[in-house]
Amino acid sequence: MSLWTRIPGWLDIEAYAERLFRKGDLGVRERGMNPLSPPSSMNAPSIDLIYRRVRCVRQACDLGEKEATNSILKRFSDLDIRSIIDEMISTVVDMAMIIIGSALTGATIGGGVGLLAGGIGAFPGATAGALVGVQAGTWILGVLGLASIAEFFTEGLKPIATGYIRGISTAWNGPRERTGNPLSSFSDDTMSAQQGAWDIARSHEAVVILLLSAIVAYLTRGRGNLSVLATEMRGSERGAKLGQWMLKHEDALKKHPDLQTAEPRRGALGPQEPPPNSPSAKDKEPPKGKPNTMPRHEVECFKADKMPASKVGEFERQLKGQEDGLNRLTVEEYLKNIANPVKRDAMAAKKARTDLKDTLQERFQREFQKEMSPLDAEEAAIKKARETMASLAGLHNPDLTAGGKDIIADFGDRQVNSSIGPQWRPKIQNLKAAAEKVPETMRDSTFLNVKLHKC
């Protein structure tokens, strides 16, 4: 596995793929094999499919960048982050390209590019995140002049790198050749790019939050002051403007709720605590949850064994959305919703779908106008938006049958949503019993603390 030591471009990645294709090093897994096993050299994908997979990942990255920018602007609107958003996002995206380039060419995702000797099995999830996380973290701190905060930043980037890889994998696994079709017809890539974009956008946003949190942690734990840090950043072309912005908003940064960390982030450069010889009695106790939450309840796992590989990432995304939605409910709200499930409002659902279709159509039309006349672009955009909406379902987080409110919080793959919903029925009773253990006098101020996971 060879990590990129510079920022790779999409042409670099395509050229790398073409070299492997000409050498005959590209392969695919045989049907029924473990998805983390090395590939077979049989049934190698066409170079056209490889190019389409790269383009699908690129589209996911473009969509993820826009989504992350909008989310960060909303989250930090009180800090006038708009004045530095272009520089910050540009730097984060360049850092992400180190991870993306390493994933595509370093055997982290399978199905074609990167499937070298040893295959994906030599470089699975967490390991991939740790390796490319350290590399990418070193790069971004260096270009911003923030090497001083490495102790608070590097370790936190490892799981974020895994999120990037998950998004890349989802987009990569979308385009497929239909075996036996003499015309080499392909499946539609749009949905896979949109699904992958979600993980990529969340990862971009997580990097920004981690970076600002690390700066706050560095300042509030007696390691230095902001003036010194800004002076160090002044020597960096990318970091100078960020440093001045930080000086202007120092107090607000220190008080911002999204930037508070309970403990120092221990990284590769920070002091490490020796492992205990044996677990303490406290470690053996079940998790009790955060303040104002009930003890954590792990819901029985949700099966995704009938999902195609390209939709597993979407399955996990929808589960996480339902988990977050549940944990925003108080115990009292949840028990009331379970006792009297809310009925679906057809008019509200229709309006939400119309709003999303209009948004998609507008975006598709802007893209098509680059290569088509306005009328042709509009016609193509209407068709593509209609096709996209046909595969999407409005998501209640959580499902109405699981205690959710009739608010469409998101849209996602219809097949995945239809798979998760029915699996709630046998799981509700245990969750309800766990919630009922909270004393009645505390239920209106105690939040759920639920964990959902895939089998």
Confidence of residue 210 (pLDDT cuts 50, 70, 90): very high
Please check the confidence at residue 204 and state whether its pLDDT lies above 90.
Answer: yes
Question: What's the whole-number mean pLDDT along residues 326-353?
Answer: 73
Residue-level pLDDT at 337: 80
Is the pLDDT assigned to residue 252 strictly greater than 70? yes
pLDDT for 364-387, tens place per residue?
788 788 888 888 888 888 887 777
Mean pLDDT of 219-235: 79
Top pLDDT among 329 and 94 is at 94
User: What is the pLDDT, as a whole number, of residue 12?
Assistant: 77
Q: Is the pLDDT of residue 66 over 80?
A: yes
Contacts for 227 with CB less than 8 Å, ≥ 6 apart: 247
Q: Say how far apart CA 394 and CA 411 lie, in whole Å.
A: 5
Cβ–Cβ under 8 Å, residues 133 and 80: no
Phi, psi of 412 (to 5 degrees): -155, 180
Task: For 257-321, list the strands marked E by DSSP.
Answer: 297-298
Distance CA 10, CA 16 (A): 10
Instruction: Report whether 258 contacts 81 (CB < 8 A).
Output: no
pLDDT at 62: 92
Look at residue 275 in the predicted model and tell me its pLDDT. Answer: 40
pLDDT at 314 over 60: yes
Q: Name the band, by pLDDT with cuts 50, 70 and 90, for residue 407.
A: low
- In tens, the pLDDT along 84-114 reads 999 999 999 998 888 887 777 653 333 333 4
My answer on whether omega of the bond before 308 falls inside 30° of 0, hence cis, is no
- Mapped onto helix, strand or coil, the DSSP state of residue 412 is strand
- For 251, the token pair is 């107090």
Residue of 184 and 164 predicted with greater confidence: 164
Least confident of 123-132, 220-229, 291-300: 123-132
Place of tokens 């659902």: 349
What does the pLDDT read at residue 436? 92
Average pLDDT of span 142-149 = 86
Mean pLDDT for the chain? 73
Predicted pLDDT of residue 278: 40
Long-range contacts (CB closer than 8 Å, 24 or more residues apart) made by 121-125: 121/34, 121/36, 121/37, 121/38, 122/1, 123/1, 124/36, 125/162, 125/165, 125/166
Q: 186 near 310, Cβ under 8 Å?
A: no
Q: What is the pLDDT of residue 348?
A: 61
Q: Is the pLDDT of residue 216 over 50?
A: yes
- Six-digit token pair at 158? 């490892």
Identify the bridge partners of residue 451 per DSSP, sorted by sequence position: 298
The model's confidence at residue 3, banded by pLDDT at 50, 70 and 90, is very low
For residue 34, what pLDDT band results from cuts at 50, 70 and 90?
very low
Share of the chain above pLDDT 70, in %: 68
Return the higher-pLDDT residue of 40 and 71: 71
Q: How confident is the model at residue 211, as a pLDDT? A: 92
Residue 111 DSSP symbol: S
Q: What is the mean pLDDT of residues 11-16?
A: 77
Contact at 8 Å (CB) between 49 and 112?
Answer: yes
Point out which residues pair with 408 in neighbouring strands: 396
Region 416-430 average pLDDT: 85
Would you say residue 420 has pLDDT above 80? yes
Q: Among the residues of 47-189, which ranges form H helices? A: 47-75, 85-105, 125-144, 150-172
Quick one: CA dihedral 23, 29, 30, 34, positive or negative? positive
Is the per-residue pLDDT at 388 higher than 80? no
Cβ atoms of 185 and 196 closer than 8 Å: no
Would you say 413 and 391 are in contact if contact means Cβ atoms under 8 Å apart? yes
Strand pairing report for 408-413 and 392-396 = antiparallel
Higher pLDDT, residue 184 or 300: 300
With 0-12 / 13-18 / 19 or more C-beta atoms within 10 angstroms meaning exposed / middle / buried, residue 241 is middle
